[in-house]
């Protein structure tokens, strides 16, 4: 039986819409997922279409947005690409990779996307919804919208917002960010642009990121309710959250939260950066501060440098050369610097990058083979098919430890036999997952394909102690606090704050 025939039997989904991008939809869904889990419901997150290079790989090897994976953790369940059936991964120049149910199926321009992919996209969304309800008939979907639901030039082909709300007859919450200003106009304007049958689905309004005394907004709350006839079900105070932003542009605004750090980390802000959630565990280390490096500079002030993953490795390597950062990194390595490259960062640390199928940012009929930074004797060739999988391995350096993570990459990396290979060693028992070398003058250069490497507590702690030892700082012997436990604590704190200020029961009917 099709899902349409059974919609009257399911628990009414909750859908979180926003008056704009960045209004707080993702964190609101995360909080609601944990609140409902604590109420012994069976919440499952869902976002029909997400555009993000911050990805996760599920246990079937399927790609999905990290934000939906985080929401699944908040529900206490394993992430699945069915929770985010369409993922668009931007490649620049209005071009995106299209991923359906975890698998890459094509490349599209923004101009052609809705013409070519709208109909199959809607079918894949309905297929995912049917599968979720078949596996979990008693669940309650907590659905995240995208951007604004009333972009009038796109609304007739919007796969993510009101189409899903109407299809599932969801109870919708409209979230607005008061920090941006113009909150009354945001709310009224959004509702006025909805059709009557769409507006009827809005069961509550949330005012997000309110600073100061919440009672000062009481008159504003009454005005909104009188004007819209919709209750304001929550005024959420400003929260010092430590979740990764969905948009890499937001990284520029991220500031370290801890005073007087003992270790300074510099992360190269690549134009096509991906999987920046890799660094969340470092953001939560009290002894560490993080700077995002966007332009050429003296890097000696940093105790270690990270070159992150990239959606367009060739393009980002050309950026490093053109900006002068490539030479900065080489000079830093020669001055006893410590460097870690992750995925695309590993590839860039090698000697050669070859892109015969133009998969990684080579210009058409132009660059196909370029030099890397040249700090590790490795060469990478990019093939047509992408590798996506969960990883379980054992590290050999800087300690012996069990390792979990995942891979997302096109390239295959091998030792460059034209170089001196004697000084490079494998980081893991799986020899093709990463390599390192110790400089004669001091410092280490390392690279790995494993996303989530810093989530491995013992490995992270031993690497940090390696850096601390080089600075003559005392070794951290404190009892390890698992990052995953920290993440759970962050989600709990988020849910508790929302629960204090949000009347969620009003939308559970």
Question: Which residue is catalytic, options 100, 343, 399, 501?
Answer: 343
In whole angstroms, what is the distance from residue 394 CA to residue 397 CA? 9
- Say if residues 454 and 281 touch (Cβ distance below 8 Å): yes
Phi, psi of 375 (to 5 degrees): -95, -15
Q: Which two tokens stand for residue 341?
A: 């490259």
Phi-psi sector, 22: left (phi>0), alpha (psi -120 to 50), beta? left
In whole angstroms, what is the distance from residue 58 CA to residue 72 CA? 11
In whole angstroms, what is the distance from residue 292 CA to residue 325 CA? 13
Q: Collapsing DSSP states into helix, strand and coil, what is residue 97?
A: strand
Instruction: Indicate the helix (H) or strand (E) that contains 183.
Output: helix 183-192
- Tokens 């993570």, located at residue: 405
Beta-strand pair 103-109/95-100: antiparallel
Q: Which two tokens stand for residue 277?
A: 């959630």
- Which of 320, 281, 257 lies closest to 459, judged by CA? 281
Catalytic, 172? Answer no
In whole angstroms, what is the distance from residue 149 CA to residue 155 CA? 7
In whole angstroms, what is the distance from residue 21 CA to residue 368 CA? 36
Q: Kindly list the distances between the CA atom of residue 492 and the CA atoms of 47, 116, 284, 363, 410, in Å, as whole numbers in the listed order.
A: 22, 42, 15, 46, 36
Catalytic, 33? Answer no
As beta bridge partners, residue 106 has: 98
| Torsion angle (degrees, nearest 10) of CA 76, 82, 83, 88 | 140
Phi, psi of 487 (to 5 degrees): -60, -40
Q: Which residues are catalytic?
A: 343, 451
């Amino acid at each position: 039986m099709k899902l349409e025939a059974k919609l009257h039997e399911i628990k009414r989904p909750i859908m979180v819409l926003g008056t704009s991008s960045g209004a707080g939809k993702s964190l609101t869904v995360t909080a609601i997922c944990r609140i409902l889990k604590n109420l012994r419901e069976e919440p499952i997150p869902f976002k029909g279409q997400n555009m993000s290079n911050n990805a996760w790989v599920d246990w079937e090897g399927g790609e999905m947005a990290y934000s939906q994976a985080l929401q699944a953790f908040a529900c206490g369940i394993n992430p699945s690409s069915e929770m985010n059936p369409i993922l668009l991964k931007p490649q620049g120049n209005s071009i995106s990779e299209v991923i359906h149910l975890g698998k890459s199926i094509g490349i599209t321009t923004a101009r052609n996307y809705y013409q070519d992919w709208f109909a199959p996209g809607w079918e894949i969304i309905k297929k995912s919804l049917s599968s979720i309800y078949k596996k979990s008939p008693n669940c309650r979907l907590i659905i995240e919208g995208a951007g604004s639901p009333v972009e009038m030039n796109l609304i007739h082909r919007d796969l993510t917002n009101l189409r899903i709300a109407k299809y599932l007859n969801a109870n919708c919450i409209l979230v607005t960010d008061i920090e941006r200003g113009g909150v009354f106009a945001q709310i009224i304007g959004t509702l006025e642009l909805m059709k009557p049958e769409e507006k009827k689905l809005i069961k509550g309004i949330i005012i997000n990121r309110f600073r100061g005394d919440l009672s000062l907004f009481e008159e504003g709350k009454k005005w909104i309710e009188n004007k819209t006839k919709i209750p304001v079900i929550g005024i959420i105070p400003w929260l010092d959250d430590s979740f990764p932003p969905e948009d890499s542009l937001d990284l520029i605004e991220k500031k370290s939260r801890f005073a007087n750090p003992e270790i300074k980390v510099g992360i190269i802000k690549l134009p096509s950066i991906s999987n920046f959630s890799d660094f969340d565990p470092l953001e939560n280390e009290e002894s560490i501060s993080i700077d995002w490096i966007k332009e050429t500079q003296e890097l000696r002030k940093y105790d270690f440098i990270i070159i992150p993953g990239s959606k367009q490795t060739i393009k980002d390597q050309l950026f490093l050369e053109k900006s002068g950062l490539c030479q900065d990194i080489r000079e830093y390595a020669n001055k006893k610097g410590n460097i870690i490259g992750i995925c695309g960062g590993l590839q860039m640390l090698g000697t050669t990058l070859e892109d015969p199928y133009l998969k990684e940012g080579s210009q058409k009929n132009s660059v196909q083979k370029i030099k890397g930074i040249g700090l590790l004797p490795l060469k990478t060739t990019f093939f047509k098919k992408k590798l996506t999988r969960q990883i379980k391995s054992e590290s050999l350096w800087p300690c012996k430890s069990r390792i979990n993570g995942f891979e997302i990459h096109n390239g295959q990396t091998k030792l460059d036999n034209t170089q001196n290979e004697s000084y490079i060693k494998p980081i893991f028992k799986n020899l093709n997952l990463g390599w390192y070398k110790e400089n004669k003058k001091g410092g280490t250069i390392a690279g790995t394909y494993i996303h989530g490497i810093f989530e491995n507590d013992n490995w992270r702690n031993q690497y940090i102690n390696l850096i601390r030892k080089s600075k003559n700082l005392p070794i951290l012997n404190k009892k390890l606090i698992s990052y995953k436990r920290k993440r759970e604590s962050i989600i709990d704190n988020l849910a508790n704050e929302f629960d204090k200020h949000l009347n969620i029961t009003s939308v559970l009917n």
